[in-house]
Amino acid sequence: MSAPTLDNDTGWFTEICTKGGSAFSLRVHARLHAEQTPYQHIEIWDTTEFGKLMTIDGFVMLTGRDNFLYHEMMSHPALFTHPDPKRVVIIGGGDCGTLKEVLKHPGVEHALQVDIDERVTRLSEQYFPELCESNQDPRAELYFGDGIQWMKEASPGSVDLVIVDSTDPIGPAEGLFSEAFYRDVYRALGNNGLVVQQSESPLLHYENIIRPMHKAMREAGFADSVSLQFPQPVYPSGWWTATLAGKRQVTVFRDADALAKPFVTRYYNAAIHRGALAQPEFFLRGQPD
């Protein structure tokens, strides 16, 4: 995976992606906060060009400048693919950015965010308040606990959309990428149910993460799956995916509704949605380049 470094002489935070043979750096003014929770080490940095930066166990989680790319693509494509999403569960997503995007949809009646570490949310409220603007929405519910266990106990057919907004598949998040977890998700979803999960970089993780995810989702019962692509500058390679799976076809969406969306986005629109569905040749061949 990756390892962080901080050059105190030049003021650059660097995350090294050892397997990818690459690194990404952000120039920082100062470290604003650091703490070890029962689950992970969280740091908040003040960067010169990317706003606030949150890292967890030394890995970049989000910045104030470009998080909209990730949060919009983790939410709006799935919400416009489901015919009528009312009940949404977000597993992870403690920074609340995905929750904010979900609640832009007036048809959503309830959005539950399940994150194991409450400190991610509380620090986001302090340092990323723009992401937490919808936390007091009466449709929002914050629950701090184990998302895997929550999904095991969810009532069958009780959810329309599950969004798995997790960290990399290591540590507490590893079980969120398993067939057993997808079976629990499948059972909790209604007839038109969908799940969307962040699925790392196509360039670096196709063979060991993305391809196995599709296999596990299909074996768990999902009829269709596709990996949506989008830029994400602060993550390794700058090229990211969210993998969408459904009990029915997921490559057709409510494009007229997306065109007429009653809310503002910075990246997502109907044309972006269509483009994100296009698959690279090596995806279609089922093997890396």
- 168-173 own/partner pairs: CB under 8 Å, 24+ apart: 168/1, 168/59, 168/200, 169/200, 169/209, 170/1, 171/39, 171/40, 171/57, 172/39, 172/40, 172/116, 173/92
Please tell me the distance from the alpha carbon of residue 14 to that of residue 222, in angstroms, as a whole number: 39
User: For this structure, is 165 an active site residue?
Assistant: yes
Q: Tell me if 216 sits within 8 A of 195, measured CB to CB.
A: no
At residue 3's C-alpha, the angle toward residues 241 and 239, to 5°, is 20
- Select which of 57, 160, 165, 184 is catalytic: 165
Helix (H, G, I), strand (E, B) or coil at 199: coil
User: 3-state DSSP helix/strand/coil percent for the chain, to nearest 5?
Assistant: 35, 35, 35
Q: Are 59 and 168 in contact (CB under 8 A)?
A: yes
Tell me the catalytic residues.
165
